[in-house]
Structure 1
Amino acid sequence: MKDDEPAHEQPYVLDDPERLKALAHPMRRRMLTLLNLHGPATSTTLGELLGAKTGTTSYHLRQLEKYGFIEEIPERSSGRERWWRRTRVLRDMRAPHPDQLAPGDRAVLEEFHRAGFEEDRALMERFPAAYRADPGWTWGSRGLVRMTKEELKAFQEEYVALLLKHAHQAEDAPPDARPLYVRLFTLPADADAVPADALPADEG
Protein backbone atom coordinates (compact mmCIF):
# COMPACT_ATOMS: atom_id res chain seq x y z
CA MET A 1 0.00 0.00 0.00
CA LYS A 2 1.29 3.48 -0.81
CA ASP A 3 1.71 6.04 1.99
CA ASP A 4 -0.72 8.55 0.46
CA GLU A 5 -3.56 6.07 -0.11
CA PRO A 6 -6.35 5.17 2.34
CA ALA A 7 -6.35 1.74 3.94
CA HIS A 8 -9.75 0.93 2.41
CA GLU A 9 -11.04 2.65 -0.69
CA GLN A 10 -14.76 3.07 -1.13
CA PRO A 11 -16.06 1.44 -4.31
CA TYR A 12 -17.35 3.82 -6.96
CA VAL A 13 -20.61 2.26 -8.15
CA LEU A 14 -21.72 3.30 -11.62
CA ASP A 15 -25.40 3.50 -10.71
CA ASP A 16 -25.99 6.62 -12.82
CA PRO A 17 -27.12 5.50 -16.31
CA GLU A 18 -25.48 8.55 -17.87
CA ARG A 19 -22.13 7.58 -16.38
CA LEU A 20 -22.63 4.03 -17.63
CA LYS A 21 -23.46 5.37 -21.07
CA ALA A 22 -20.29 7.48 -21.03
CA LEU A 23 -18.20 4.37 -20.44
CA ALA A 24 -20.04 2.19 -22.94
CA HIS A 25 -18.69 4.20 -25.88
CA PRO A 26 -15.78 2.34 -27.58
CA MET A 27 -13.69 5.44 -28.32
CA ARG A 28 -13.97 6.74 -24.78
CA ARG A 29 -12.88 3.37 -23.44
CA ARG A 30 -9.84 3.39 -25.74
CA MET A 31 -9.01 6.94 -24.67
CA LEU A 32 -9.09 5.96 -21.00
CA THR A 33 -6.82 2.99 -21.74
CA LEU A 34 -4.34 5.24 -23.55
CA LEU A 35 -4.33 7.71 -20.65
CA ASN A 36 -3.64 4.80 -18.30
CA LEU A 37 -0.83 3.46 -20.48
CA HIS A 38 0.89 6.64 -21.62
CA GLY A 39 -0.10 9.21 -19.03
CA PRO A 40 -1.48 12.71 -19.66
CA ALA A 41 -2.37 13.68 -23.21
CA THR A 42 -4.14 16.32 -25.28
CA SER A 43 -7.03 15.83 -27.68
CA THR A 44 -4.51 16.19 -30.51
CA THR A 45 -2.18 13.43 -29.30
CA LEU A 46 -5.12 11.13 -28.59
CA GLY A 47 -6.52 11.86 -32.05
CA GLU A 48 -3.20 10.88 -33.62
CA LEU A 49 -3.11 7.61 -31.70
CA LEU A 50 -6.73 6.77 -32.51
CA GLY A 51 -6.82 8.07 -36.07
CA ALA A 52 -9.60 10.51 -35.14
CA LYS A 53 -10.16 14.21 -35.65
CA THR A 54 -9.28 16.52 -32.80
CA GLY A 55 -12.86 17.80 -32.62
CA THR A 56 -14.06 14.25 -32.05
CA THR A 57 -11.57 13.48 -29.31
CA SER A 58 -12.25 16.87 -27.67
CA TYR A 59 -15.96 16.06 -27.49
CA HIS A 60 -15.36 12.65 -25.91
CA LEU A 61 -12.85 14.10 -23.46
CA ARG A 62 -15.44 16.62 -22.33
CA GLN A 63 -17.92 13.80 -21.75
CA LEU A 64 -15.40 11.87 -19.69
CA GLU A 65 -14.61 14.99 -17.68
CA LYS A 66 -18.32 15.71 -17.13
CA TYR A 67 -18.76 12.39 -15.34
CA GLY A 68 -15.53 12.51 -13.36
CA PHE A 69 -13.41 9.93 -15.17
CA ILE A 70 -10.68 12.38 -16.21
CA GLU A 71 -9.53 15.82 -15.12
CA GLU A 72 -7.68 18.69 -16.72
CA ILE A 73 -4.11 19.50 -15.66
CA PRO A 74 -4.26 23.31 -15.31
CA GLU A 75 -0.53 23.79 -14.89
CA ARG A 76 0.17 22.10 -18.23
CA SER A 77 -2.71 23.61 -20.20
CA SER A 78 -2.30 26.84 -22.12
CA GLY A 79 -4.49 28.57 -24.66
CA ARG A 80 -6.49 25.98 -26.61
CA GLU A 81 -4.15 23.14 -25.64
CA ARG A 82 -5.65 21.28 -22.71
CA TRP A 83 -3.91 18.36 -21.02
CA TRP A 84 -5.91 15.54 -19.45
CA ARG A 85 -5.24 12.72 -17.00
CA ARG A 86 -7.20 9.91 -15.41
CA THR A 87 -8.89 10.79 -12.14
CA ARG A 88 -6.73 9.25 -9.45
CA VAL A 89 -9.47 8.45 -6.95
CA LEU A 90 -11.47 6.22 -9.32
CA ARG A 91 -9.50 3.00 -8.94
CA ASP A 92 -12.32 0.75 -7.73
CA MET A 93 -15.19 1.29 -10.16
CA ARG A 94 -17.98 -1.28 -10.14
CA ALA A 95 -21.03 -1.96 -12.23
CA PRO A 96 -24.35 -1.62 -10.40
CA HIS A 97 -26.76 -4.41 -9.63
CA PRO A 98 -29.57 -4.27 -12.21
CA ASP A 99 -32.03 -3.50 -9.42
CA GLN A 100 -30.17 -0.23 -8.77
CA LEU A 101 -31.33 1.03 -12.18
CA ALA A 102 -34.78 1.81 -13.47
CA PRO A 103 -36.07 -0.90 -15.84
CA GLY A 104 -35.72 1.46 -18.81
CA ASP A 105 -32.03 2.03 -18.04
CA ARG A 106 -30.95 -1.60 -17.77
CA ALA A 107 -30.18 -1.82 -21.47
CA VAL A 108 -27.40 0.71 -20.84
CA LEU A 109 -25.89 -1.69 -18.28
CA GLU A 110 -26.01 -4.53 -20.79
CA GLU A 111 -24.27 -2.35 -23.38
CA PHE A 112 -21.63 -1.40 -20.80
CA HIS A 113 -20.93 -5.10 -20.14
CA ARG A 114 -20.97 -5.94 -23.85
CA ALA A 115 -18.40 -3.25 -24.64
CA GLY A 116 -16.15 -4.41 -21.83
CA PHE A 117 -16.25 -8.06 -22.73
CA GLU A 118 -15.57 -7.28 -26.39
CA GLU A 119 -12.29 -5.83 -25.16
CA ASP A 120 -11.75 -8.87 -22.93
CA ARG A 121 -12.35 -11.24 -25.84
CA ALA A 122 -9.67 -9.47 -27.87
CA LEU A 123 -7.25 -9.73 -24.95
CA MET A 124 -7.96 -13.44 -24.54
CA GLU A 125 -7.13 -14.01 -28.20
CA ARG A 126 -3.73 -12.40 -27.59
CA PHE A 127 -2.97 -14.56 -24.55
CA PRO A 128 -1.30 -17.60 -26.23
CA ALA A 129 1.14 -15.43 -28.20
CA ALA A 130 1.87 -13.25 -25.17
CA TYR A 131 2.54 -16.32 -23.03
CA ARG A 132 4.84 -17.77 -25.66
CA ALA A 133 6.76 -14.49 -25.90
CA ASP A 134 7.14 -13.80 -22.17
CA PRO A 135 5.53 -16.27 -19.74
CA GLY A 136 7.03 -14.42 -16.77
CA TRP A 137 4.68 -11.50 -17.45
CA THR A 138 1.67 -13.52 -18.63
CA TRP A 139 -0.49 -15.47 -16.20
CA GLY A 140 -3.93 -16.99 -16.21
CA SER A 141 -6.02 -19.06 -13.85
CA ARG A 142 -9.14 -21.11 -14.44
CA GLY A 143 -11.24 -23.07 -12.04
CA LEU A 144 -14.60 -24.46 -11.09
CA VAL A 145 -15.39 -24.00 -7.42
CA ARG A 146 -18.38 -23.95 -5.10
CA MET A 147 -19.20 -20.93 -2.96
CA THR A 148 -22.22 -19.41 -1.32
CA LYS A 149 -23.29 -15.97 -2.51
CA GLU A 150 -21.89 -14.48 0.71
CA GLU A 151 -18.55 -16.26 0.18
CA LEU A 152 -18.38 -15.02 -3.40
CA LYS A 153 -18.97 -11.47 -2.20
CA ALA A 154 -16.19 -11.84 0.38
CA PHE A 155 -13.88 -13.25 -2.31
CA GLN A 156 -14.64 -10.27 -4.54
CA GLU A 157 -13.80 -7.78 -1.79
CA GLU A 158 -10.55 -9.56 -0.87
CA TYR A 159 -9.55 -9.81 -4.54
CA VAL A 160 -10.06 -6.08 -5.15
CA ALA A 161 -8.18 -5.21 -1.94
CA LEU A 162 -5.28 -7.45 -2.98
CA LEU A 163 -5.18 -5.93 -6.45
CA LEU A 164 -5.12 -2.39 -5.10
CA LYS A 165 -2.48 -3.33 -2.52
CA HIS A 166 -0.02 -4.44 -5.18
CA ALA A 167 -0.94 -1.97 -7.94
CA HIS A 168 1.12 1.18 -8.51
CA GLN A 169 -0.01 4.47 -9.93
CA ALA A 170 2.06 5.48 -12.96
CA GLU A 171 3.80 8.28 -11.08
CA ASP A 172 5.00 6.09 -8.19
CA ALA A 173 5.75 2.83 -10.04
CA PRO A 174 9.28 1.43 -9.72
CA PRO A 175 11.43 1.45 -12.88
CA ASP A 176 10.89 -2.26 -13.61
CA ALA A 177 7.08 -2.11 -13.31
CA ARG A 178 5.02 -2.69 -16.44
CA PRO A 179 1.34 -1.94 -17.14
CA LEU A 180 -0.66 -5.15 -17.00
CA TYR A 181 -4.18 -6.04 -18.08
CA VAL A 182 -5.88 -7.87 -15.21
CA ARG A 183 -9.23 -9.60 -15.62
CA LEU A 184 -11.42 -11.73 -13.36
CA PHE A 185 -15.00 -12.80 -13.85
CA THR A 186 -17.26 -15.49 -12.51
CA LEU A 187 -20.31 -17.17 -14.00
CA PRO A 188 -22.69 -19.73 -12.49
CA ALA A 189 -21.58 -23.12 -13.80
CA ASP A 190 -24.78 -25.00 -13.00
CA ALA A 191 -26.54 -23.13 -15.82
CA ASP A 192 -24.50 -25.38 -18.14
CA ALA A 193 -25.15 -28.58 -16.22
CA VAL A 194 -26.41 -31.55 -18.20
CA PRO A 195 -29.66 -33.04 -16.82
CA ALA A 196 -29.13 -36.39 -15.17
CA ASP A 197 -31.50 -38.15 -17.57
CA ALA A 198 -29.41 -36.90 -20.51
CA LEU A 199 -26.23 -38.62 -19.31
CA PRO A 200 -25.24 -41.96 -20.84
CA ALA A 201 -26.53 -44.97 -18.96
CA ASP A 202 -24.00 -46.81 -16.79
CA GLU A 203 -23.23 -50.00 -18.66
CA GLY A 204 -20.84 -51.35 -16.05
Structure 2
Amino acid sequence: MTEPPRELTDPAALKAYAHPLRQRILRELHRNGPATATTLATALGENTGATSYHLRQLARHDFVREDTELGHGKERWWRPVSTDIRFPRSAGQSPEVQAVLAKLADDGLAADLATYARFAERRAEFGEWADAVPYSRGAVTLTPEELMRFFADYLDLLNRYRDNHDPDAQNSRRLLVRWVAFPDPGDG
Protein backbone atom coordinates (compact mmCIF):
# COMPACT_ATOMS: atom_id res chain seq x y z
CA MET A 1 0.00 0.00 0.00
CA THR A 2 1.27 3.45 -0.87
CA GLU A 3 1.98 5.72 2.06
CA PRO A 4 0.46 9.20 2.07
CA PRO A 5 2.58 11.94 0.51
CA ARG A 6 4.70 14.17 2.70
CA GLU A 7 4.62 17.86 1.85
CA LEU A 8 7.70 19.77 2.88
CA THR A 9 6.47 23.03 4.35
CA ASP A 10 9.19 23.60 6.96
CA PRO A 11 12.01 25.69 5.43
CA ALA A 12 14.65 23.98 7.61
CA ALA A 13 13.51 20.51 6.49
CA LEU A 14 13.40 21.67 2.88
CA LYS A 15 16.98 22.96 3.11
CA ALA A 16 18.11 19.75 4.80
CA TYR A 17 16.49 17.69 2.04
CA ALA A 18 17.93 19.82 -0.78
CA HIS A 19 21.60 19.36 0.17
CA PRO A 20 23.35 17.69 -2.82
CA LEU A 21 25.11 14.94 -0.82
CA ARG A 22 21.91 14.19 1.09
CA GLN A 23 20.09 13.84 -2.22
CA ARG A 24 22.73 11.35 -3.35
CA ILE A 25 22.41 9.45 -0.05
CA LEU A 26 18.63 9.26 -0.41
CA ARG A 27 18.88 8.07 -4.04
CA GLU A 28 21.33 5.35 -2.97
CA LEU A 29 19.07 4.21 -0.12
CA HIS A 30 16.01 4.13 -2.39
CA ARG A 31 17.94 2.24 -5.07
CA ASN A 32 19.73 -0.33 -2.90
CA GLY A 33 17.90 -0.42 0.41
CA PRO A 34 19.22 0.01 3.95
CA ALA A 35 22.88 0.90 4.36
CA THR A 36 25.41 2.05 6.92
CA ALA A 37 27.36 5.30 6.75
CA THR A 38 30.38 3.21 5.75
CA THR A 39 28.67 1.39 2.87
CA LEU A 40 27.19 4.69 1.67
CA ALA A 41 30.61 6.37 1.85
CA THR A 42 32.09 3.61 -0.30
CA ALA A 43 29.23 3.69 -2.82
CA LEU A 44 29.29 7.49 -3.12
CA GLY A 45 33.05 8.06 -2.98
CA GLU A 46 32.76 10.09 0.22
CA ASN A 47 34.29 9.71 3.67
CA THR A 48 32.38 7.99 6.45
CA GLY A 49 32.38 11.09 8.64
CA ALA A 50 30.52 13.04 5.95
CA THR A 51 27.93 10.35 5.28
CA SER A 52 27.42 9.78 9.01
CA TYR A 53 26.85 13.50 9.62
CA HIS A 54 24.44 13.86 6.70
CA LEU A 55 22.50 10.73 7.73
CA ARG A 56 22.01 12.27 11.18
CA GLN A 57 20.76 15.49 9.57
CA LEU A 58 18.37 13.52 7.37
CA ALA A 59 17.16 11.59 10.43
CA ARG A 60 16.63 14.83 12.35
CA HIS A 61 14.07 15.83 9.71
CA ASP A 62 12.61 12.31 9.39
CA PHE A 63 13.87 11.55 5.87
CA VAL A 64 15.70 8.44 7.09
CA ARG A 65 15.34 6.23 10.15
CA GLU A 66 17.68 3.86 11.84
CA ASP A 67 16.85 0.22 11.12
CA THR A 68 17.51 -1.31 14.53
CA GLU A 69 16.79 -4.86 13.31
CA LEU A 70 19.81 -4.79 11.00
CA GLY A 71 22.32 -3.11 13.30
CA HIS A 72 24.65 -5.04 15.61
CA GLY A 73 26.65 -3.33 18.33
CA LYS A 74 27.63 0.15 17.20
CA GLU A 75 26.72 -0.57 13.58
CA ARG A 76 23.87 1.70 12.46
CA TRP A 77 21.79 0.87 9.41
CA TRP A 78 19.58 3.49 7.81
CA ARG A 79 16.54 3.29 5.56
CA PRO A 80 14.58 6.01 3.75
CA VAL A 81 11.26 6.98 5.29
CA SER A 82 9.13 8.29 2.43
CA THR A 83 9.16 7.90 -1.32
CA ASP A 84 6.51 10.53 -2.08
CA ILE A 85 7.88 13.93 -1.11
CA ARG A 86 5.90 16.97 -2.28
CA PHE A 87 7.09 20.55 -2.35
CA PRO A 88 5.11 23.73 -1.72
CA ARG A 89 4.34 25.99 -4.62
CA SER A 90 7.08 28.55 -5.04
CA ALA A 91 4.63 31.47 -5.18
CA GLY A 92 4.07 32.99 -1.78
CA GLN A 93 7.29 31.53 -0.37
CA SER A 94 10.18 33.63 0.88
CA PRO A 95 12.92 34.40 -1.67
CA GLU A 96 15.19 32.03 0.29
CA VAL A 97 12.72 29.12 0.01
CA GLN A 98 12.09 29.95 -3.66
CA ALA A 99 15.84 29.72 -4.29
CA VAL A 100 16.03 26.34 -2.50
CA LEU A 101 13.07 25.00 -4.53
CA ALA A 102 14.60 26.22 -7.81
CA LYS A 103 17.99 24.68 -7.00
CA LEU A 104 16.37 21.41 -5.96
CA ALA A 105 14.48 21.22 -9.27
CA ASP A 106 17.56 22.16 -11.31
CA ASP A 107 19.78 19.64 -9.50
CA GLY A 108 17.13 16.92 -9.77
CA LEU A 109 16.71 17.38 -13.52
CA ALA A 110 20.49 17.47 -14.02
CA ALA A 111 20.89 14.24 -12.02
CA ASP A 112 18.11 12.58 -14.04
CA LEU A 113 19.71 13.61 -17.35
CA ALA A 114 23.09 12.31 -16.16
CA THR A 115 21.49 9.00 -15.17
CA TYR A 116 19.82 8.73 -18.58
CA ALA A 117 23.17 9.49 -20.28
CA ARG A 118 24.78 6.62 -18.32
CA PHE A 119 22.01 4.30 -19.50
CA ALA A 120 22.38 5.51 -23.12
CA GLU A 121 26.15 4.86 -23.04
CA ARG A 122 25.52 1.29 -21.86
CA ARG A 123 22.29 0.64 -23.77
CA ALA A 124 23.67 -2.48 -25.51
CA GLU A 125 24.17 -4.15 -22.11
CA PHE A 126 20.42 -4.05 -21.42
CA GLY A 127 19.39 -6.68 -23.99
CA GLU A 128 15.68 -6.50 -24.77
CA TRP A 129 15.34 -3.64 -22.29
CA ALA A 130 17.58 -1.48 -24.51
CA ASP A 131 14.56 -0.53 -26.63
CA ALA A 132 12.12 -0.26 -23.74
CA VAL A 133 12.35 3.50 -23.42
CA PRO A 134 8.92 4.97 -24.14
CA TYR A 135 9.21 8.67 -24.74
CA SER A 136 6.61 11.30 -25.37
CA ARG A 137 6.67 15.05 -25.80
CA GLY A 138 3.58 17.14 -25.93
CA ALA A 139 1.94 20.37 -24.97
CA VAL A 140 -1.41 21.04 -23.38
CA THR A 141 -3.18 24.21 -22.30
CA LEU A 142 -4.34 24.01 -18.68
CA THR A 143 -5.17 26.14 -15.68
CA PRO A 144 -2.94 25.73 -12.60
CA GLU A 145 -5.74 23.71 -10.94
CA GLU A 146 -6.05 21.41 -13.98
CA LEU A 147 -2.28 20.91 -13.97
CA MET A 148 -2.42 19.81 -10.32
CA ARG A 149 -5.21 17.32 -11.17
CA PHE A 150 -3.16 16.06 -14.13
CA PHE A 151 -0.19 15.58 -11.79
CA ALA A 152 -2.36 13.78 -9.21
CA ASP A 153 -3.65 11.45 -11.95
CA TYR A 154 -0.08 10.73 -13.03
CA LEU A 155 0.92 9.90 -9.45
CA ASP A 156 -2.14 7.66 -9.04
CA LEU A 157 -1.14 5.75 -12.18
CA LEU A 158 2.47 5.41 -11.03
CA ASN A 159 1.41 4.23 -7.56
CA ARG A 160 -1.09 1.76 -9.01
CA TYR A 161 1.64 0.04 -11.03
CA ARG A 162 4.12 0.15 -8.14
CA ASP A 163 1.61 -1.23 -5.62
CA ASN A 164 0.22 -3.97 -7.88
CA HIS A 165 3.52 -5.28 -9.22
CA ASP A 166 4.27 -8.93 -8.55
CA PRO A 167 7.81 -8.92 -7.11
CA ASP A 168 8.29 -12.46 -8.42
CA ALA A 169 7.37 -11.57 -12.02
CA GLN A 170 9.99 -12.81 -14.45
CA ASN A 171 11.89 -10.34 -16.61
CA SER A 172 10.88 -7.32 -14.56
CA ARG A 173 13.30 -4.64 -13.50
CA ARG A 174 13.34 -1.32 -11.72
CA LEU A 175 12.55 1.54 -14.10
CA LEU A 176 13.11 5.23 -13.51
CA VAL A 177 10.00 7.21 -14.42
CA ARG A 178 10.11 10.99 -14.61
CA TRP A 179 7.42 13.55 -15.32
CA VAL A 180 7.86 17.28 -15.68
CA ALA A 181 5.62 20.09 -16.88
CA PHE A 182 6.48 23.76 -17.16
CA PRO A 183 5.13 26.84 -18.91
CA ASP A 184 6.30 27.34 -22.49
CA PRO A 185 8.67 30.32 -22.25
CA GLY A 186 7.81 31.27 -25.84
CA ASP A 187 4.08 31.49 -25.10
CA GLY A 188 2.97 34.79 -23.73
Shared fold (TM-score greater than 0.5)? yes
Q: Given the two structures, how large is their TM-score scaled by the length of structure 1?
A: 0.78
Task: Give matches, 1:42-191, under 5 Å.
Answer: 42-87=36-81, 90-99=82-91, 101-126=93-118, 128-129=120-121, 133=126, 134-168=129-163, 173-174=167-168, 176=170, 177-189=172-184, 191=185
Change (3 A) 1:116 1:169: farther
Q: Deviations over 1:147-189 (max 9, x none)?
A: 233322211111001111111599x733543222111101112
Cα distance in 2 for partners of 1:146, 1:100 equals 23
Q: Deviations over 1:22-80 (max 9, x none)?
A: 22222111111111111111111111111211111100111111111111111221222
- What stretches of structure 2 of length at least 5 have no aligned partner? none
Cα distance in 2 for partners of 1:47, 1:168 equals 31
Matched residues, number: 184
Equivalent position amino acid for 1:140 in 2: Y
Change (3 A) 1:159 1:57: same
Cα distance in 1 for partners of 2:29, 2:169 equals 19
Using the aligned pairs only, state the percent identity: 40
Q: CA RMSD in A?
A: 2.6
Note the C-alpha offset of 1:103.
3.4
119-128 vs 56-65, which deviates more? 119-128
- What stretches of structure 1 of length at least 5 have no aligned partner? 196-204
Cα distance in 2 for partners of 1:46, 1:113 equals 24
Cα distance in 2 for partners of 1:173, 1:100 equals 42
Cα distance in 2 for partners of 1:46, 1:128 equals 25
Equivalent position amino acid for 1:61 in 2: L
Equivalent position amino acid for 1:144 in 2: A
